[in-house]
């Protein structure tokens, strides 16, 4: 039986730039029996008949050819069904038309919503699993350098497809999003995926991406395609799922909207594209300059901070009769410590942005570090009216980490808990060993956060956006830095909260270490003879005098040299136990030259040399060691840092 229908091309064609005579009418014959057979084929595979395959009824042969592409690139693609469907849902985030993401979430949920990738044996996902997938940070809201390095660091292609929700799946999906959204600027993402899959598997992966992209473009050309009743009913009963599906800020990300449409129809000329590219490069250069400016600014602020810090430490050692002096000293100590933390955060944020963070991964005693963090934070907690509870045994536990950076992460997490927990509350620190990781938990009874805020909790400068009290101050960098440092050490950091004023839980996972304890462990650290005579090489008189006072009050004999030649002369005269030398000295003899010169003098070859600088990149530390320094201390120097370097 044949039925004749007609379609009229409207006055404004959806394909701008393509000649469609106004008012022309075409007659199209549709074989209803063939259509019924086709509908049965599609619904038999999916478990339902998607509206997608009801479109273009005036050109049924075209929709059937599109079905052939769906079968080859998506349905019969040898990738696992749930993996394909999660990939389809994830990439659908970036298309402005929401039909595909809604329908394929239904397939992922299974049951009466259809079959994932047309596979009736596929295990359905829960709504919670789908929500976690949709809440993952996109490539434009995460550190993609870490993601690329994770995949590029694989020594062999994977033997099995990644598990749903795994870190490997997350990294693969992030690279897939770059390839899907910006195909012309995704060479590194493509190389990383080939590294993971190998060339043959990558072709299947790419075929699936190609079909997903085609499906989205088709829905843009057919905005009349609406979500089926089953998904509309589902979304009415799940507010968060509906918000994630229908109100995603990333929905306009994909290059299938106005720009690509114009390019396909010839309305954008080459000059305009070049102008946009130049503007993009200019913005990237401005961003790089901003990061460098932050690093220089932090360095310049360290000198006056050094004077204040040393003066505060000196006051605390004088023990004057007037109790107000003691209170001043405490106040100076608190404020300079806070300022130092902010500067360190700014520098760390800059180093991370510039990719200049260097780690020394070794076997580290976790129990020892946790105990130190608790001891240091106990006073702050008591002052805030809080209890810190430790729930871990003293049994040794060793992890693969950078000792200093792991301590920084834990300090940030505990400091954050103290800052956002009202007086009378509690903070609990615990850890357990689970498979290949040590799992550290910081649980507080504080102000918590809204569930939606979890997406941006670890982004820089987001503290003010949340509903938390700002009384604790800070720049909102601590958690962002903790996240980046955790990733660089192969760990995972996450946060959960039942809601506002219901507390929060931060979970840190760090790989466990195997084998014997590293020789660089604190328990086997090299013991130096105690320094009694110190030569301080510093061209800033205030800094030199302040540090000299601090050292003298701590029981050391101190001599100050203002430049390189004076330092060499004084060193040869007194043969000090320790030389503390600023690297940025005036004249032609900087701190590096002072160190090299000292190592050429027979009487000074055994003298301990320690560099001091406001700069502290991995290259700065390496250059200091190459010049003959034992180590590099970062300004401002504190009583604690000086006691460590001068200890016996």
What is the three-state SS of 387-452?
A: EEEEECCCCCCEEEEEHHHHHHHHHHHHHHHHHCCCCCCEEEEEEEEECCEEEEEEEECCCCCCHH
SS3 508: strand
Residue 291 predicted with pLDDT over 50:
yes
In which band, very low, low, confident or very high, does the pLDDT at 349 lie, cut at 50, 70 and 90? Answer: low
What's the confidence (pLDDT) of residue 634? Answer: 80
In which band, very low, low, confident or very high, does the pLDDT at 542 lie, cut at 50, 70 and 90? Answer: confident
What's the confidence (pLDDT) of residue 385? Answer: 92
Instruction: Measure Cα distances from 170 to 163, 176, 279 in Å.
Output: 10, 10, 31
Instruction: Measure Cα distances from 382 to 91, 332, 392, 421 in Å.
Output: 49, 19, 20, 12
pTM, full prediction: 0.45
The C-alpha angle 412, 414, 415, rounded to 5 degrees, equals 60
Which class in CATH covers the domain with range 361-522? alpha beta
Distance from C-alpha of 192 to C-alpha of 200, rounded to nearest angstrom = 14
The residue among 518 and 329 whose pLDDT is bigger is 329
Cis status, amide bond into 212, omega within 30 of 0: no
Contacts of 281 (CB under 8 A, 6+ apart): none
In which band, very low, low, confident or very high, does the pLDDT at 117 lie, cut at 50, 70 and 90? Answer: very high
Q: Buried (b) or exposed (e) across 558-594, using 16+ Cβ within 10 A? A: bbbbbbbbbbbebbeeeebbbbbbbbebeeebbbbbb
In which band, very low, low, confident or very high, does the pLDDT at 263 lie, cut at 50, 70 and 90? Answer: very low
The percent of residues in the chain predicted with pLDDT above 70, rounded, is 73
Distance from C-alpha of 130 to C-alpha of 106, rounded to nearest angstrom = 10
Domain 525-646 matching CATH 3.40.50.2300: the answer reads yes
Same fold, 276-354 and 525-646: no
Distance from C-alpha of 604 to C-alpha of 498, rounded to nearest angstrom = 62
- The strand pair at 25-31 and 361-365 is best described as unpaired
Q: Where are the domains of the chain?
A: 72-260, 276-354, 361-522, 525-646
Distance from C-alpha of 162 to C-alpha of 212, rounded to nearest angstrom = 20
The percent of residues in the chain predicted with pLDDT above 90, rounded, is 37
- Could you tell me if 476 and 463 are in contact, meaning their C-beta atoms sit under 8 angstroms apart? yes
Residue 316 predicted with pLDDT over 90:
no
Residue 470 predicted with pLDDT over 70:
no
Q: Point out the least confidently predicted range of 58-67, 273-282, 602-611.
A: 273-282
Instruction: Measure Cα distances from 237 to 131, 164, 499 in Å.
Output: 14, 25, 20
- The strand pair at 2-8 and 361-365 is best described as unpaired
Residue 566 predicted with pLDDT over 90:
yes
Residue 39 predicted with pLDDT over 60:
yes
Q: Stretch 354-368: mean pLDDT, rounded?
A: 77
What's the confidence (pLDDT) of residue 528? Answer: 41
SS3 content of the chain, % helix, strand, coil (to 5): 55, 15, 30
Q: Stretch 263-280: mean pLDDT, rounded?
A: 54
423 is written with which tokens?
Answer: 């007086």
- Centre a 10 Å sphere on the Cβ of residue 281 and count the other Cβ atoms it contains: 10
Q: Residue 191's Cα: distance from chain center in Å? A: 21
- The strand pair at 437-444 and 504-511 is best described as antiparallel
The residue among 167 and 452 whose pLDDT is bigger is 167
In which band, very low, low, confident or very high, does the pLDDT at 301 lie, cut at 50, 70 and 90? Answer: low
**pLDDT tens string 549-561:** 888 888 889 999 9
Q: Point out the least confidently predicted range of 203-207, 281-285, 482-486.
A: 281-285
What's the confidence (pLDDT) of residue 537? Answer: 95
In which band, very low, low, confident or very high, does the pLDDT at 30 lie, cut at 50, 70 and 90? Answer: low
| Domain covering 276-354, topology | Helix Hairpins (1.10.287)
In which band, very low, low, confident or very high, does the pLDDT at 59 lie, cut at 50, 70 and 90? Answer: confident
In which band, very low, low, confident or very high, does the pLDDT at 140 lie, cut at 50, 70 and 90? Answer: confident
Q: Stretch 46-64: mean pLDDT, rounded?
A: 85
- Could you tell me if 643 and 613 are in contact, meaning their C-beta atoms sit under 8 angstroms apart? no
In which band, very low, low, confident or very high, does the pLDDT at 257 lie, cut at 50, 70 and 90? Answer: very low
What's the confidence (pLDDT) of residue 55? Answer: 78
- Could you tell me if 569 and 579 are in contact, meaning their C-beta atoms sit under 8 angstroms apart? no
**pLDDT tens string 385-443:** 999 998 887 778 899 998 888 988 998 899 889 988 999 999 999 999 888 899 999 99
In which band, very low, low, confident or very high, does the pLDDT at 22 lie, cut at 50, 70 and 90? Answer: very low
In which band, very low, low, confident or very high, does the pLDDT at 346 lie, cut at 50, 70 and 90? Answer: low
- Max CA pair span of the chain: 112
Distance from C-alpha of 467 to C-alpha of 446, rounded to nearest angstrom = 12
The residue among 447 and 301 whose pLDDT is bigger is 447
What's the confidence (pLDDT) of residue 7? Answer: 32
What's the confidence (pLDDT) of residue 5? Answer: 31
Residue 11 predicted with pLDDT over 70:
no
Residues in the chain: 648
Q: Which residue has the tokens 């130092």?
A: 340
The residue among 337 and 208 whose pLDDT is bigger is 208
- Could you tell me if 98 and 254 are in contact, meaning their C-beta atoms sit under 8 angstroms apart? no
- Could you tell me if 149 and 359 are in contact, meaning their C-beta atoms sit under 8 angstroms apart? no
495 is written with which tokens?
Answer: 């946060």
- Could you tell me if 130 and 103 are in contact, meaning their C-beta atoms sit under 8 angstroms apart? no
- Could you tell me if 398 and 438 are in contact, meaning their C-beta atoms sit under 8 angstroms apart? no
376 is written with which tokens?
Answer: 């240091």
Q: What is the mean pLDDT of the chain?
A: 79
Q: Stretch 42-53: mean pLDDT, rounded?
A: 92
In which band, very low, low, confident or very high, does the pLDDT at 70 lie, cut at 50, 70 and 90? Answer: very high
In which band, very low, low, confident or very high, does the pLDDT at 303 lie, cut at 50, 70 and 90? Answer: low
Q: 54, 28, 124, 37: which is closest to 85 by C-alpha?
A: 124
Q: Point out the least confidently predicted range of 529-543, 577-591, 622-636.
A: 529-543
Residue 9 predicted with pLDDT over 60:
no
Residue 19 predicted with pLDDT over 50:
no
What's the confidence (pLDDT) of residue 343? Answer: 66
Distance from C-alpha of 384 to C-alpha of 424, rounded to nearest angstrom = 8
Q: Stretch 490-516: mean pLDDT, rounded?
A: 86
H/E element, 167: helix 167-181
The residue among 156 and 324 whose pLDDT is bigger is 156
């Amino acid at each position: 039986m044949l039925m004749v229908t007609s379609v009229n091309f409207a006055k404004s064609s959806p394909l701008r730039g393509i000649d469609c005579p106004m008012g022309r009418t075409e007659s199209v014959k549709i074989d209803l029996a063939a259509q019924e057979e086709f509908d049965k084929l599609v619904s038999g595979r999916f478990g339902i008949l998607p509206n997608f395959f009801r479109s273009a009824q005036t050109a049924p042969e075209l929709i059937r050819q599109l079905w052939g592409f769906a079968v080859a690139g998506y349905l019969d693609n040898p990738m696992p069904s749930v993996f394909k469907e999660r990939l389809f849902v994830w990439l659908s985030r970036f298309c402005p038309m929401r039909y595909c993401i809604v329908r394929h979430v239904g397939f992922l949920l299974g049951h009466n919503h259809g079959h994932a990738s047309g596979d009736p044996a596929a295990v359905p996902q829960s709504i919670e699993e789908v929500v976690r997938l949709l809440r993952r940070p996109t490539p434009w809201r995460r550190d993609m350098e870490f993601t690329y390095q994770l995949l590029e660091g694989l020594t062999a292609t994977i033997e099995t497809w990644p598990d749903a929700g795994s870190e490997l799946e997350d990294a693969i999906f992030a690279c897939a999003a770059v390839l899907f959204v910006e195909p012309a600027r995704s060479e590194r993402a493509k190389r990383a995926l080939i590294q993971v899959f190998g060339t043959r598997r990558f072709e299947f992966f790419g075929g699936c991406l190609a079909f997903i992209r085609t499906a989205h473009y088709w829905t843009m050309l057919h905005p009349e395609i609406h979500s089926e009743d089953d998904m509309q009913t589902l979304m009415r009963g799940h507010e968060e799922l509906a918000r994630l599906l229908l109100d995603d800020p990333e929905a306009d990300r994909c290059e299938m909207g106005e720009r690509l449409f114009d390019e396909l129809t010839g309305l954008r000329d080459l000059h305009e594209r070049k102008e946009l590219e130049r503007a993009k490069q200019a913005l990237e250069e401005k961003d790089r300059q901003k990061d460098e400016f932050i690093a220089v600014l932090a360095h310049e602020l360290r000198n006056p901070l050094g004077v204040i810090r040393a003066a505060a430490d000196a006051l605390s050692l004088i023990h004057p009769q007037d109790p107000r002096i003691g209170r001043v000293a405490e106040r100076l100590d608190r404020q300079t410590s806070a300022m130092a933390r902010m500067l360190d955060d700014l520098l760390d944020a800059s180093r991370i942005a510039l990719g200049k963070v260097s780690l020394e991964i070794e076997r580290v005693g976790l129990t020892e570090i946790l105990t130190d963090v608790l001891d240091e934070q106990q006073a702050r907690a008591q002052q805030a009216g809080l209890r810190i509870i430790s729930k871990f045994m003293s049994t040794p536990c060793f992890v693969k980490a950078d000792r200093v950076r792991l301590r920084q992460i834990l300090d940030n997490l505990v400091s954050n808990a103290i800052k956002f927990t009202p007086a009378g509350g509690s903070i609990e620190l615990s850890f357990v060993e689970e498979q290949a990781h040590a799992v550290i938990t910081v649980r507080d009874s504080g102000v918590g956060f809204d569930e939606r805020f979890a997406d941006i909790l670890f982004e820089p400068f987001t503290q003010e956006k949340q509903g938390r009290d700002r009384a604790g101050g800070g720049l909102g960098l601590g958690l962002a830095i903790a996240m980046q440092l955790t990733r660089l050490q192969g760990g995972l950091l996450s946060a959960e909260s039942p809601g506002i004023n219901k507390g929060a839980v931060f979970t840190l996972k760090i790989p466990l270490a195997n084998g014997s304890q590293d020789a660089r462990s604190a328990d086997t650290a090299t013991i130096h003879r105690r320094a009694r005579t110190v030569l301080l090489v510093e061209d800033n008189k205030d800094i030199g005098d302040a540090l000299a006072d601090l050292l003298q009050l701590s029981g050391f004999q101190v001599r100050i040299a203002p430049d390189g030649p004076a330092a060499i002369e004084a060193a040869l005269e007194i043969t000090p136990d320790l030389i503390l030398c600023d690297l940025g000295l005036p004249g032609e003899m900087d701190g590096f030259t002072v160190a090299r010169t000292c190592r050429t003098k027979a009487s000074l070859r055994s003298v301990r040399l320690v560099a001091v600088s406001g700069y502290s990149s991995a290259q700065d530390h390496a250059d200091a060691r190459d010049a003959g320094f034992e180590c590099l201390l970062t300004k401002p120097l504190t009583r604690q840092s000086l006691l460590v370097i001068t200890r016996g």
